[in-house]
Structure 1
């Protein structure tokens, strides 16, 4: 095992993230979930991502997903489990992944580039599996069987690395005393994503958002006349991000700095094809992904 810098680990994670992230936008997702009888887009998202936990009540998903409006989660769970079992939903999700990656990678789906990238990503993900403690959403996905085909291995590996990182991030948000909606507002305050995108995508009302903004202003996180972080807020948000990077290093130590750099080289052209492959990515998100890929290749 070798030491990997938090910066290098972050670059590697970001470079590969579109391979996992496409599952939330691809039209193949709704297609396979409708085959099971699930037609509500909100149910598709919450049921498919939390299916690894089993037929859990809404409260478990609310807890692990952290920043979504609890009322919206409660509107679709546990009702989803009466329509299709978690096992059926997981199989459908993997089918959507298979269809999507075959669409964008074509004949390269089982090529040497995908196989090598899958091997490196799996090494990192399997090391993460040595430390599931305190990471419930990651642990649930880590308990799933590994798929056989290289492109699905690559997707599953990145899914594990994503949830591993995400669970650590949620723990840090909690220690800062932030609620789910407050975490979103501070994220929007960085200027990285428009407030309305975060508010709408997580199903919060304008009234809920305004209340969260006011509360953060009172605590000194935001400037008085805008949804922008104050100097105090910038420092605390930067500390959260920095510590998130540190807590996410452990898996990548299995492949070292050289392995991280090699993985980024391998996946850069693959992820560009995912972004540009008609899988439904919003333009703003596509641009963020491109910037991350470019940063990782420099």
Structure 2
């Protein structure tokens, strides 16, 4: 694999991550969760991401989602399945996502939406799923006939498969979830936002910050170090490599066309994401990606 494969994988992530994320932030998507009986934001979040796994307990979700404090997950699971079954949650999240995307893309040609769904589904068909629990569970879901439903589900599958690879890279690097959060809080986000959004106590946060200092990622006063930047970038690079397989073998014209199709949808989806977004979302390039063959 050459350098372009990881670079293309990152560009595609910049497009499909916001398409997936409308289900957590658009009012129509949130209304759909409430209509299914999932009162409270976090019940909808944990139920919707976990639903492809079935009526699971908290333990596999704590492992697969990685960044959340166990006590935060156990407040939602498994009792959310008493409010709505996994099948009801899957239906609610798809209805909400489609309604959200319909509002956001009403002025875009429907043939382009259908083509965008086609190219993302083709990428899903090329995914490597061994070891990717959330990606595999989403890939196994039946495909809808609606272009917007197909587009959202394909974006979600690609997003979760990438997330599985990111978790694997973090585990391989021996990083604890709170260390990652303390690093992000020092780098480009606020602790006052990240800590409650992931449910860790002050004591757990302090311990994670101390481990990040001992690891050499932060100075004693909490400043990011060059070593921290380099090691975290290595994790990001490993994530890009693990997500690159469905984009290999594409020539420059293929990449340009996919970029053209996804760019307006992804940009429209970004308009509903909050100013403080609890995930890392790369900026889109100012110009189209110029690249040779990615094989």
Q: Same fold (TM over 0.5)?
A: yes
Structure 1 range deviating more: 98-107 or 85-94 = 98-107
In structure 2, which of residues 257, 263, 266 is the aligned counterpart of residue 268 of structure 1? 263
Q: How many Å separate the matches in 1 of 2:287 and 2:86?
A: 37
Is 1:212 matched up with 2:208?
yes
The answer to whether the 8 A contact 2:178-2:209 is kept is no
Aligned length in residues: 289
Partner of 2:145: 148
In structure 2, which of residues 157, 161, 165 is the aligned counterpart of residue 160 of structure 1? 157
Distance 1:285 1:56, change over 3 A: closer
Is 1:225 matched up with 2:224?
no
Is 1:194 matched up with 2:210?
no
The structure in which a higher percent of residues are helix is 1
Partner of 1:11: 11
Aligned-residue offset at 1:234: 1.6
Q: How many Å separate the matches in 2 of 1:170 and 1:274?
A: 25
Give the alignment of 1:87-102 within 5 angstroms.
Answer: 87-102=87-102
In structure 2, which of residues 155, 168, 172 is the aligned counterpart of residue 171 of structure 1? 168
Gaps of at least 5 residues in structure 2 are 291-295
Q: How many Å separate the matches in 2 of 1:265 and 1:63?
A: 36
TM-score of the pair, normalised by structure 2: 0.90
The answer to whether the 8 A contact 1:15-1:289 is kept is no
The answer to whether the 8 A contact 2:114-2:147 is kept is yes
Say what the alpha-carbon RMSD is for the aligned residues.
Answer: 2.4
Aligned-residue offset at 1:233: 1.5
TM-score of the pair, normalised by structure 1: 0.89
Give the alignment of 1:1-298 within 5 angstroms.
Answer: 5-106=5-106, 108=108, 111-128=110-127, 131-189=128-186, 191-226=187-222, 228-253=223-248, 255-276=250-271, 279=272, 281-285=273-277, 291-292=283-284, 294=286
Aligned-residue offset at 1:291: 3.0
Gaps of at least 5 residues in structure 1 are none
The answer to whether the 8 A contact 1:4-1:256 is kept is no
The answer to whether the 8 A contact 1:265-1:297 is kept is no
